Structure 1
């Protein structure tokens, strides 16, 4: 029973520490001998209740622990908007939100609504379609290819607009470009005349379970310069959140001039595949 109580204490200590906690911190906070807590953490890690970052050596909750809190409404995953999300929303006036993969779904867990009269319909707890939302695809792009194909094949791929990507092979090719460029763009794919950009958020172990996204009415972000600015802001926010969660690996963010050039050549707002889009429309 004593071991069970200690294990619950460790899980409780990690529950609100997304940046991760070191072995020494847990030792001091829980007053558990180093040898005992090290053995306990090894057992919890082997059962996927905790995970340890190979770079920062910090511990955080694992998939098995997170699964215990899963339920259909996703209420337990909803959080207050972190500062980087608030900063982009304040600077842009647009809708900015944070998503997280829960089981096989990607859900909006934090949201700041646009200050403009014309707002977009995004709500807390909303499930984002895996094939049509940039905020979901940027998470999928960093998952195991076998899992990705299984999720895309088994989930309905509704045609929300004429521009919605629905073919599995096309989506898998698109995800490869998302990994290459480090962000994703959705332009009139989920909603007509809505443009969105999303960046991954890495956890301490280098996994991507979350994304940060900005969505705006397409008419407010028509110029390559504005789209490049918002893309850079979203990428910077993703970097700040990743560092806050304990990720110490590399994050490459294109220069503003590179992004302007990408958007200047884009077809229908898609910066990485203008040639493909142009060919499809012929």
Structure 2
């Protein structure tokens, strides 16, 4: 176990990535041991492997756990002020999420003045039920294959569990430029999300507004699409390339 932690520390010190050979050299482990340890970290999500460069980097599982700790310690985040402005101007909770396997991983939230969000940094929501997940899934380069592989379990009676129905919804999301859901992910909650793209059109994240159904209908949330898109552009400018 200590060797695995040593390997995580090494990956943390090499943000650009490190090869198995280099990892063995730095740690003093035999190549076979370093290769096995790195493979185990990749399998569990604590490391990523790039076949083109043969380099290992820290995985999103480390980020997910770090977010849990950061949230408990009041971590603000580089885009916190942007979400705070979005919440202030709309009066609703804002949420930023990134793709992690078959889920949307919450990385930042700002509660609305009258309602707390139902997700915290480090939490995950299914791609097929949450507005954030649907916004991310709609722009998957292999969306049909991904939908086929998803287990479309319902979270509420309103959740979409039919693959063809989900595909049709994802097509509408691409056409409209936003994803909306009403009580599909959490009973009593509406949410609207837009994708966050960098200047090259690469999908970075998704940004959402969430509101209880008694305060804001989905149609009313749609009125905030311009503000949501403006905030998404600002967030993209601050995210690492």
TM-score by length of 2: 0.67
What is the RMSD computed on CA atoms of the aligned residues? 3.0
CA deviation after TM superposition for structure 1 residue 73, in Å: 7.0
Written as runs of structure 1 = structure 2, the 5 A alignment for 1:24-35 is none
CA deviation after TM superposition for structure 1 residue 204, in Å: 4.8
Partners of 1:48 and 1:245 in 2: CA distance: 25
Contact 2:190-2:218 at 8 Å conserved across structures: no
Match of 1:88 in 2: 86
Q: Answer 1 or 2: which has greater strand percent.
A: 2
Contact 1:203-1:246 at 8 Å conserved across structures: no
Unaligned ranges ≥5, structure 1: 1-7, 13-43, 50-63, 248-282
Taking CA–CA contacts closer than 8 Å with sequence separation of 6 or more, which of the two structures ends up with the larger relative contact order? 1
Residues 165, 223 of structure 1: CA spacing in aligned structure 2 closer, same or farther, 3 A cutoff? Answer: closer
Report whether the alignment pairs 1:143 with 2:133. Answer: no
Among 109, 126, 131, the residue aligned to 1:129: 126
Residues 10, 126 of structure 1: CA spacing in aligned structure 2 closer, same or farther, 3 A cutoff? Answer: closer
Written as runs of structure 1 = structure 2, the 5 A alignment for 1:19-98 is 46-47=52-53, 65=57, 68-71=58-61, 74-76=64-66, 80-81=76-77, 82=79, 83-98=81-96
| Higher deviation after alignment, 84-93 or 168-177 | 84-93
Q: Helix, strand or coil for the counterpart of 2:104? A: strand
Match of 1:235 in 2: 229
Contact 1:202-1:245 at 8 Å conserved across structures: no
TM-score by length of 1: 0.58
Report whether the alignment pairs 1:11 with 2:16. Answer: yes
Written as runs of structure 1 = structure 2, the 5 A alignment for 1:209-248 is 209-222=204-217, 224=219, 226-245=220-239
Q: Helix, strand or coil for the counterpart of 2:60? A: coil
Report whether the alignment pairs 1:199 with 2:194. Answer: yes
